[in-house]
Amino acid sequence: MPIIVNLDVMMARRKISLNELSERVDLTLSNLSILKTGKAKAIRFSTLEAICKALDCQPADILEYVPDQKQKK
Amino acid sequence: MKTRTRLILKLLYILSWIIFVGLCIEAGGFITNAIFALVNPAVVKNLWHEVDLSGLLNFDTGHFFAETFIMCIVAVLRACLFYLIIKILHNKKLDMARPFNTDLQRFINRASFLSLLIGLFSWYGVHYAQWLLTQGVKMPDAEYLRLGGADVWLFMSVILFVIAQIFSKGIDIQTENELTV
C-alpha cells in the first residue's frame, strides 16, 4: 500500500513506548501494533487525533504517501 | 450465541445425522441391488424392495444399470451434502461473533456445487425414466426413484451461489472492519 505509517519513528523521536502510547490514546496494544506494522486498512479520525495529541505532532508526521513502483511507471 | 439458536443448531445437527444415515443406507441399497443384479439376478427379489426396477432389469440390463447408476450418484451426492452440513455443525464453524469466515464460505460454495450436480443428475434421471416409459417399460414414479425435485435442487444451487458471493463480500468488509484502528 502506498500509505506508510511512521508511527514507530514518531514514537522513537518522542521517546515513548507502545505501552505508554496505548494508555494515552486509549487503544489496545494489538490495535496499535496493527497500525505500527502497517497492517491496518483504515484509521479513524478520532484515533488519529488522539495519537497526534499524545505525540504532539501533525497527521503528516505519522502518515506518508509513497507511490508504488507500478504507479511510478 | 443465544440459547435458542444453540438449541436449533443442535436439533439440526441431530436431524442431519439421521438424514445422512438414511441416505447412506439408501445409496448402499442401490449399489448392493446393482451388484447383485449383475452377479446373481435371482437374489435381487430378496434384497431391498424400496424401488422396484425388476421391469427394467427384464427389459434391458444396460438401461437398468444406467438408471441405477444415476440413482446411486444422486443418493451419494445427497449423502455428501448432508455430510458437509454435519461437518460444519460438528466443528462449530457457525461463529456468531465472526459470522463471515472462509470455512463457511467454502461450505456454501461446496453445497451450491453439490446441489447443482444433484439437480442435473436428477433431471437427467427423470427424463431417462420417462423415455424408458415410452419404450413400454414398467417404471416406478420419479418420486419412488428418489429423483424428484430436480428443479428445486437447481434453484437451491443458484440461491446458494448468490449467498456465497454475498458472503465473499461480507468477509472482505469484516476483515476491513477488523483492521480499522
For A32-69, what is each residue's pLDDT tens digit? Answer: 999 988 888 899 999 999 999 999 999 999 999 988 77
In the predicted structure, residue B7 carries a pLDDT above the cut 80:
yes
Asked if B173 is an interface residue toward chain A (Cβ–Cβ < 8 A), one would say no
Predicted-complex ipTM score: 0.70
Nearest chain A Cα distance for residue B178, angstroms: 9
d(CA A65, CA A4): 6
Region A13-29: what's the mean pLDDT?
90
Average model confidence (pLDDT) for chain B? 86
**Cβ–Cβ gap B179/A34 under 8 Å:** yes
Long-range CB contacts (< 8 A, 24+ apart) of B157-163? Answer: B157/B112, B157/B113, B157/B115, B157/B116, B157/B119, B158/B112, B160/B108, B160/B109, B160/B111, B160/B112, B160/B115, B161/B109, B161/B112, B163/B108, B163/B112
Distance CA B74, CA B44 (A): 21
Q: Find the mean pLDDT for residues A25-36.
A: 90
Q: Give the pLDDT confidence of B16-33 residue by residue, as tens digits.
A: 999 999 999 988 888 888
pLDDT at B61: 82
Say which of B175, B176, B180 has its CB closest to residue A44. Answer: B180
Q: Which residue has the higher pLDDT, B78 or A70?
A: B78
Most B CBs within 10 A among A41, A43, A44, hence the mutation to make, goes to A41
- Global pTM value: 0.76
Helical axes A45-55 vs A18-25, angle rounded to 10° = 120
pLDDT in tens, B99-158: 888 889 999 999 999 999 999 999 999 998 888 888 887 777 777 777 888 899 999 999
Give the model's pLDDT for residue B124. 93
Residue B109: all three cell numbers together: 460454495
Chain A CB within 8 Å of residue B175 CB:
yes
Q: Is the predicted pLDDT of residue A72 greater than 70, yes or no? A: no
Specify the pLDDT at position A46.
Answer: 92
| Window from A51-65, B2-16, B44-58 with minimum mean pLDDT | B44-58
Query: Is residue B179's pLDDT more than 90?
Result: no
pLDDT for B138 equals: 79
Query: What pLDDT, on a 0 to 100 scale, did the predictor assign at position B49?
Result: 64
For B176, nearest residue in chain A (alpha carbons): A41
Euclidean distance between CA atoms B81 and B87, whole angstroms: 10
Residue type (1 letter), B67: E
**CA closest to B181 among chain A residues:** A43
Enumerate the residues of chain B whose CB falls inside 8 A of the CB of residue A47: 181
Q: Give the range among A18-22, A61-65, B1-5 with minimum mean pLDDT.
A: B1-5
A42, three cell numbers: 483504515
